[in-house]
């Protein structure tokens, strides 16, 4: 598993280096050709819509992450130690991910119902 992760990180790093270098060359070519106003094409687009609830989002995510950790602690106190390292060891990760995603879903519901 760690070998695959290291390989993915190395390839992602190489990709980012090549992307930065080619973007630089392209911007340089656009500026040299005299189209300075078009050099901003390569910049990432900024979203015009503001997010009014960033604190709510991270508050809900933290809240549900804490709930997930409490559920994991409850199960670990009621189970044998093999639950941590044995066949149920992925259950803790699953509980935590479900809790965090539940926080994001509740945030999504709040933002969809906001007054326009």
Q: pLDDT digits over 45-78, tens only? A: 565 555 566 777 777 788 888 887 777 777 776 6
- Verify that 29 and 74 share a domain, yes or no: no
Q: Is a pLDDT exceeding 80 seen at residue 35?
A: no
Long-range CB contacts for residues 95-103, cutoff 8 Å, separation at least 24:
95/68, 95/71, 96/65, 96/68, 96/69, 96/72, 97/68, 98/68, 99/64, 99/65, 99/67, 99/68, 99/71, 100/61, 100/64, 100/65, 100/68, 102/64, 103/60, 103/61, 103/62, 103/63, 103/64, 103/65
pLDDT, residue 13, reads 92
- Verify that 104 and 59 share a domain, yes or no: yes
Of 15-19, 43-47, 60-64, 89-93, where does mean pLDDT reach its minimum?
Answer: 43-47
Look up the domain containing 16 and give its range.
2-42
The span from the CA of 96 to the CA of 110, in Å, is 21
Query: What domain count does the chain have?
Result: 2
- Verify that 58 and 81 share a domain, yes or no: yes
- The whole-model pTM stands at 0.42
89 found inside a domain? yes
pLDDT, residue 96, reads 79
- Verify that 31 and 60 share a domain, yes or no: no
pLDDT, residue 18, reads 93
- Verify that 24 and 71 share a domain, yes or no: no
Q: Is a pLDDT exceeding 80 seen at residue 89?
A: no
């Amino acid at each position: 598993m760690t070998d695959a992760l290291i390989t993915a990180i190395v390839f992602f790093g190489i990709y980012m280096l090549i992307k930065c270098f080619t973007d630089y060359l392209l911007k340089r070519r656009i500026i040299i050709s005299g189209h300075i106003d078009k050099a901003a094409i390569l910049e990432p687009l900024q979203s015009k819509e503001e997010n009014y609830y960033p604190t709510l989002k991270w508050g809900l995510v933290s809240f549900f992450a804490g709930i997930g950790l409490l559920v994991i602690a409850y199960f670990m106190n009621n189970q044998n130690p093999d639950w941590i390292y044995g066949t149920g060891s992925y259950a803790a990760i699953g509980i935590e991910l479900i809790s965090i995603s539940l926080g994001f879903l509740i945030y999504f519901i709040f933002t969809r119902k906001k007054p326009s």
